[in-house]
Amino acid sequence: MNHKFPEYKELDLAQVNQEVLAFWEADQTFAKSLQAREGRPSFVFYEGPPSANGKPGIHHVMARTVKDIYCRFQTQKGFHVKRKAGWDTHGLPVELDVENRLGIVKTDIGTKISVAEFNQACRKAVMEYTDMWESITAKMGYWVDMKNPYVTYHNQYIESVWNLLKRLYDKDLLYRGHSIQPYSPAAGTGLSSHELNQPGCYRDVKDTTVVAQFRLVRDEVSDFLFAQTDTPDVHILAWTTTPWTLPSNTALAMGANIDYLLVRTFNPYTRQPVSVVLAKDLFREFFPEKNDALAIEDFQPGQKQVPHRVLGEFKGARLELARYEQLMPEMPRPEQGDAFRVLMGDFVTTSDGTGIVHIAPSFGADDARVAQKYGVGALTLVNKQGRFVEEAGFLAGRFVKNEYSPELGPDDETTDVFIAVTLKNQNKAFRVAKYEHSYPHCWRTDKPVLYYPLDSWFIRTTAVKQRLKDLNNTINWKPAATGTGRFGQWLENLVDWNLTRSRFWGTPLPIWVSEDRSETVCVGSMAELKHELQKSVEAGFMASNPLADFRADDFSDQNYNRLDLHRPTVDELVLVSPTGKPMRREPDLIDVWFDSGAMPYAQLHYPFENKEVFEQFFPADFIAEGVDQTRGWFFTLHAIATMVSDSVSFKAVVSNGLVLDKDGKKMSKRLGNAVDPFKTLDQHGADAVRWYMTTNTQPWESLKFDLAGVEEARRKFFGTLQNTYAFFALYANVDGFRADQPKVGREHLQETDRWILSHLNSLIRLCDERYQDYDATAAARAIQHFVIEHLSNWYVRLNRKRFWSPGQGPDKLAAYQTLHECLLTVARLAAPVMPFYAEKLYRDLVSTCPAAWAHSVHLSDFPVADEGLVDKELEERMDMAQTIASMVLSLRRKVKIKVRQPLRRLVLPVLDAAIVPKVEAVRDIILREVNVKELDLLTDTTGILVKSIKPNFRQLGQRPQYRSAMKAITTELAALDQAAIARFEASGRHGFQAGDGQAIELELADVEIVTKDMEGWEVATDGKLTVALDIHLSPELLREGMARELVNRIQNLRKDMGLEVTDKIRLALQSHPETDPAVNAHRDYIGGQTLASELVLDPALENDPEAKRLELTETLALMVKIQKS
RNA sequence: AGUCCCGUAGCUCAGCCGGUUAGAGCACGACACUGAUAAUGUCGGGGUCGGCGGUUCGAGUCCGCCCGGGACUACCA
């Protein structure tokens, strides 16, 4: 046991980090913190799995700080908080990374390199940086169980995922369909949205655009248009930026509520009379105002300006299901569906084009959706190479983009232009123009992406949309707007989840299909697979059952690794259908997001193991990840839990924002502005980084990470806290203070003790509330304010003398106990945010008596506020004392009188009798602080004070009848002179007539009276308080001031000589007419303060070689001799 | 393009239910202190609260539109 509080020369947070880490390691503190709460209620936390094939960045430190804070807090609150780490190991980023390293592309897989080899490479790459992750996790103090993580590629994990898929399959929530996906003809591969979001993928390109004329068929629906015009035909105008999709057009889309016009005009190219339909909002884009006056009848074919006349207006809904003729009749017609009709689409806008959208369901996602809704078929006249197929007649063999062709260059005629010219000549183009827009490009080949229909499996999330929304409303989102806004919107516009990916390294889709697709089986477990395989062996489709030895009740890796549940092994398994046909696995993998969304189940290998455990660990009380996960992990967790368990997956979620560089730019390796997390933690210590991140900004706002801010946190907060501790330790050791001494009675507490304890307990309550509400920022800011402003700048400053005064006694003990209590409590309050320094501080503070406290702050309980110690009135009057002291100091500065120079009198005019007792209570504190001898409260201030009066708006606002008279009241009050104010104060009321004749009667409560000035005094005003300072210096005061100057200089000298605080001295001062009177008058004081056992005035000191020269003022110096006695 | 977040001093951020003189820290400048001292205190300059319009007796705060930054989703004629 230590009998002394450790003292330190300086604060080295990085060093503290090291020491505490070593302590935790040796002590197994994390494990103990869990053991200690074993059997207590659980606080459930889910760790979102990071991908270990990338190095951790500073933003991970941010995200993990958030997680760690609330887990540590809830642990201190007594909950059992299990934290299982996890690794996201599948998916495209891993594959791309491996392709890069091997120098291959997707199409090489299966040819240049086998799938087995490729997947082996992925398996290795995926855990490549595991040790870096483990290291950063430890260094930053994130407590999570890294020893038993869940890993998404393990067979047990996959089995759980398969089980979930099977449940969805059984609920008829899985179906096969096709969707329009980005596809790179040049690379021959589908692209994910992830790939499309690589920087530089979206590029501005200039394309030839066409406004095509679609000829309506006259029928019951469209008849009303034909009836209004003289031309035989009516055309719908539709705009496209991809004219190569026009041959595949099968429908047009209009907005049901959009206003459209029927316009009689002439085709600008063929000059033929036409009647066209377009959105009213876009009318002026095609028909300028200057042509309004031109008459249709007068039009000459050679005329440059084309006349127009609006014939009618109607809502899009009127044309629903109207028929039109195929634009290019030489093209085939779709085999299925009722094509060439006008559909209503909610995606139609009038922001550009014509307000009517050309629909080619094969080449647009919106197109496909609306076409499917109406049962309109598709034409796919382009193949995967981006080339028109044979059936496309005169277009057959053409590349839709020159970039896809090996021969064509940018200067060759494009298919778009070719089609535009063709349509022009056929009176089918109303406008042809170049248009610049952004379009995605394949990041590997730099060539434009093609949207192309591909087969996929989907999860019917739209079937549970309402339930998803309802459950979402019960989730506590931080910030709330993310839940209602971003996430809510996302759910509102939900589409079915495109589950499958044509890839290699991922969880295989456990669905086997017979060749004619008539029979399907979904496998939900290893045991089931074994059983199916057995049947297949019996049917003769498999030579042997690779799972023959698998035992369903043995969860060991050895048992589970009998068969790798990845490609290509699973592809080789042929099953048998109920009718005896062979079935092969659907070759696709599932979206990796399903892996991570399945983690509440799969991390426990549910439902095969841990069935009861799962009940306790679902749903999570809390999760936290970046906002970019809103539609990622947050969604997949939510969707899977809703569909499988009809429950939320998490009750509360904190989404944290980006970490940008200090100029607000995104960090990237390319720009070289990425902050190295290891270096940062090593240099500044995790606490400073965590503290900075937490206090600087709310976690969901993006953080402009600036090392200067980390440094500031260290200097301001940790420096002050450390100084406060060092101050405490210095004197506590001198006095042999022990923290486990019985508490002194409350009667021994001074006003300042009770004041700081009041603040402390308010702080405890606030922190508890804020942490509870996932608002660590407010908690940490409050702690910081308490430490710097209240504890250090005021409490320690006011009470320094109590600590260094000689002797012992209840008053001194009270001071030690109060300060100790404050520091100890701060350590416990701040521990979730700054786990290392809090640990250090806590252990130092309890080091003199470890038995009385937990040996780690993280094993200690969160402080409980003692409401009985909270005294708001006390806090108020101390605030007032601080304000008054500050005002006096300001006055002193103004008149250039040092604080060391005592002054006679301070006067405080009292406007409100209520403050009298408050001031009385803090009178001594004020006087001591500002070095003034008397404080007078002046109650009768008439004639002395200059007052001003203004309305109390808040008060008056409560009275409806005066609300509109506010201006008149303001004017009236501003006009009152001193006498009128005095009368008002005396009578308590003031009546007058407002401009409109309203009689107004004001009471004192309706106004605020403040003082401005005082005749003949040095005065300062702050709000309602005014102080006046008597700055007259009597000879007596000057002598006392001089004595203090002397003491001050002698103390400095003592220090310079290296004397201990307790050393006694013999003191000789040079005799001097300017100082002798002060020395004589205050001999005892000087001697006492400087511990001088002997004080002599020596006229001959000037020549003493041992004497030192002291500068007292600019003009006065004195010789002094000090000898240790 | 849609959705969401943000915009307050040179920088980082507070500002509750609308109340009339908008605050803190950093940085900068001046002064003071020197037994917490590689600390500390006091004072000071510095603001069209992104812009415009509206509601109101009164708007940084509420509403609408716009501008700028960011994120996500989409890329669609």
C-alpha to C-alpha distance for A155 and A161, rounded to whole angstroms: 10
Mean pLDDT of A169-193: 79
Å from the A197 CA to the B66 C1': 29
Q: Which amino acid is at A1050?
A: I
The pLDDT value given to residue A197: 59
Are A578 and A492 within 8 A, CB to CB?
no
Average pLDDT over residues A980-985: 82
A209 touches strand B (CB under 7 A): yes
**Beta carbons within 10 angstroms of residue A299's beta carbon:** 16
- For position A1028, what pLDDT does the model report? 81
**What residues contact A1016, with CB distance under 8 A and at least 6 apart?**
none
pLDDT of residue A115: 92
A180 CB below 7 A from strand B atoms: yes
Question: Quick one: which H or E segment has residue A1003?
Answer: strand A999-1003
Contact between the CB of A182 and strand B at under 7 Å? yes
pLDDT, tens digit, 9 for 90 and up, residues A759-773:
899 899 999 999 998
How does DSSP classify residue A996? Answer: T
pLDDT above 60 (res A1101) = yes
Q: Among chain A residues 960 through 989, which have CB within 7 angstroms of nucleic chain B?
A: 963-964, 966-967, 970
The residues, any chain, with a CB within 8 Å of residue A343's CB and separated by 6 or more, are A251, A252, A253, A254, A320, A321, A359, A370, A371, A373, A374, A376
Structure tokens at A651: 């009750």
Closest residue by Cα to residue A347 from A360, A357, A337? A357
Give CA A887 to chain center in angstroms. Answer: 41
Two tokens at A1091?
Answer: 């511990």
User: What pTM was computed for the model?
Assistant: 0.84
Confirm whether any atom of chain B, the nucleic acid strand, is less than 7 Å from CB of A1091.
yes
Angle at A115 between CA A110 and CA A116, to 5 degrees: 140
Task: Give the Cα separation of A932 and A275 in Å (integer).
Answer: 96
Average model confidence (pLDDT) across chain A = 85
Instruction: Please name the residue whose C-alpha is nearest to the C1' of nucleotide B12.
Output: A696
Residue A1043 CB-half CA count within 13 A: 21
Of A259, A33, A134, the closest CA to residue A857 belongs to A33
Rounded to an integer, the average pLDDT of A448-461 is: 84
Position A1016 scores a pLDDT of 62
* Least confident window among A601-610, A942-951, A953-962: A942-951
State which residues between 358 and 417 of chain A bring their CB within 7 Å of strand B.
358, 364-366
Mean pLDDT within A579-598 = 90
> Could you read off the pLDDT of A623-669 as tens digits, one per residue?
998 877 777 788 889 999 999 999 999 999 888 877 777 766 677 66
* Separation of A390 CA and B12 C1' (Å): 65
Percent of chain A with pLDDT over 70: 95
Return the exposure string of A1062-1079: e unless at least 16 CB atoms fall within 10 Å of the residue's CB, then b. eeebebbbbbbeebbbbb
Task: State the pLDDT at residue A1080.
Answer: 87
Write the single-letter amino acid at A854.
A
Q: Long-range contacts for A1091-1096 (Cβ within 8 Å, ≥24 apart)? A: A1091/A1062, A1091/A1063, A1091/A1064, A1091/A1065, A1092/A1050, A1092/A1064, A1092/A1065, A1092/A1066, A1092/A1067, A1093/A1064, A1093/A1065, A1093/A1066, A1093/A1125, A1094/A1066, A1094/A1067, A1094/A1125, A1095/A1067, A1095/A1068, A1095/A1069, A1096/A1067, A1096/A1068, A1096/A1069
Inform me whether the pLDDT recorded for A198 exceeds 60: no
CA at A545, C1' at B46: how many angstroms apart?
81
Q: Is the confidence at residue A821, as pLDDT, over 80?
A: yes
CA nearest neighbour of A830 among A917, A746, A752, A768: A768
Greater confidence, A190 or A142?
A142
Task: Please state whether strand B lies within 7 Å of residue A1033 at its CB atom.
Answer: no
Chain A 926..955 CB hits on strand B (< 7 A): 950-951, 953-954
- At residue A446, the pLDDT reads 73
Residue pLDDT, tens place only, A576-585: 999 999 999 9
Residue type, A1123: Q
Q: What positions of A carry a catalytic annotation?
A: 49, 88, 593, 629, 633, 666, 669
**Spatial distance from the CA of A781 to the C1' of B22 (Å):** 20
Per-residue pLDDT for A171 more than 80?
A: yes
Which pLDDT belongs to residue A554?
Answer: 93
The pLDDT tens digits of the residues spanning A535-555 come to: 999 999 999 999 999 998 999
Cβ of residue A278 lies below 7 Å from strand B: no
Separation CA A786–CA A763 (nearest Å)? 8
Beta bridge partners of A935: A906
Q: Which nucleotides of B are covered by protein (CB under 7 A)?
A: 1-6, 11-14, 19-21, 25-26, 31-43, 56-58, 69-77
* Section A483-508 average pLDDT: 81
φ, ψ of residue A814 in degrees (nearest 5): -60, -40
| Interacting residues of A559 by C-beta distance below 8 A, sequence separation 6+ | A550, A551
Question: Which ranges of A717-871 does DSSP label H, i.e. alpha helix?
Answer: 719-735, 751-772, 776-785, 797-804, 810-830, 835-846
Number of Cβ atoms within 10 Å of the Cβ of A901 = 18
- pLDDT value of residue A439: 78
pLDDT value of residue A919: 84
| Closest-approach nucleotide to residue A1063, Cα vs C1' | B35
Q: What is the mean pLDDT of residues A382-411?
A: 85
Report CA dihedral (A173, A176, A178, A181) to the nearest 10 degrees: 70
Task: Work out whether strand A202-215 and strand A235-240 pair parallel, antiparallel, or are unpaired.
Answer: antiparallel
| pLDDT for residue A1013 | 64
Whether the CA torsion A773, A777, A778, A783 is positive or negative: it is positive
**Residue A389: count of CB within 10 angstroms of its CB:** 15
CA of residue A683 relative to chain centroid, distance: 25
Residues paired with residue A623 on neighbouring β-strands, in sequence order: A653
Specify the higher pLDDT residue, A676 or A605. A605
Asked if strand B comes closer than 7 Å to A587 Cβ, the answer is: no
Radius of gyration for chain A, computed over Cα atoms and rounded to the nearest angstrom = 41
Beta bridge partners, A659, equal: A703
Whole-number pLDDT of residue A276: 92
pLDDT at A436 over 70: no
- The ipTM is 0.87
Nucleotide in closest CA–C1' contact with A719: B39
User: What does each C-alpha distance from A886 to A797, A799, A893, A930 come to in angstroms?
Assistant: 14, 17, 11, 8
Residue pair A99/A105 in contact by the 8 Å Cβ criterion? yes
- Residue A1125 CA to residue A1120 CA, distance in Å, equals 15
Q: What is the pLDDT of residue A1022?
A: 65
Strands A520-522 and A189-190, bridge-based pairing: unpaired
CA distance linking residue A735 with residue A728, whole number of Å: 11
Across A303-312, A578-587, A1028-1037, least confident range: A1028-1037
At position A313, the amino acid (one-letter code) is: E
Q: Name residues whose C-beta falls within 8 Å of residue A47's C-beta, 6 or more positions apart in sequence.
A: A67, A83, A84, A85, A86, A144
The spacing between the Cα labelled CA in A704 and the C1' in B51, in angstroms, equals 25
Residue A176's pLDDT band (cuts 50, 70, 90):
confident
Answer whether residue A520 shows pLDDT above 90: yes
Q: What is the per-residue pLDDT across A778-809, written as a single tens digit (0 to 9) for each?
A: 899 889 988 988 888 888 888 888 887 777 88
pLDDT at position A593? 86
The answer on pLDDT for A505 being more than 70 is yes
Q: A214-230: per-residue pLDDT in tens?
A: 999 999 988 999 999 98
Mean pLDDT computed over A853-857:
90
Nucleotide B20 C1' to residue A986 CA (A)? 26
Residue A588 has pLDDT above 70, yes or no: yes
* Strand B closer than 7 A to residue A659 Cβ: no
Q: If you count DSSP H runs as helices and E runs as strands, how many of each does chain A have, helices first?
A: 39, 38
Instruction: Give the pair of three-digit tokens for residue A10.
Output: 């300086």
- Amino acid A1012: pLDDT: 65
Write down which residues 789-808 in A have CB closer than 7 A to strand B.
792-793, 796-797, 800, 804
| Whole-angstrom distance, CA of residue A618 vs CA of residue A394 | 62
Closest CA to A863 of A883, A838, A840, A881: A838
Q: Which one, of A766, A739, A754, A730, lies nearest residue A821 by Cα?
A: A739
Between CA A65 and C1' B42 the distance (Å) reads: 38
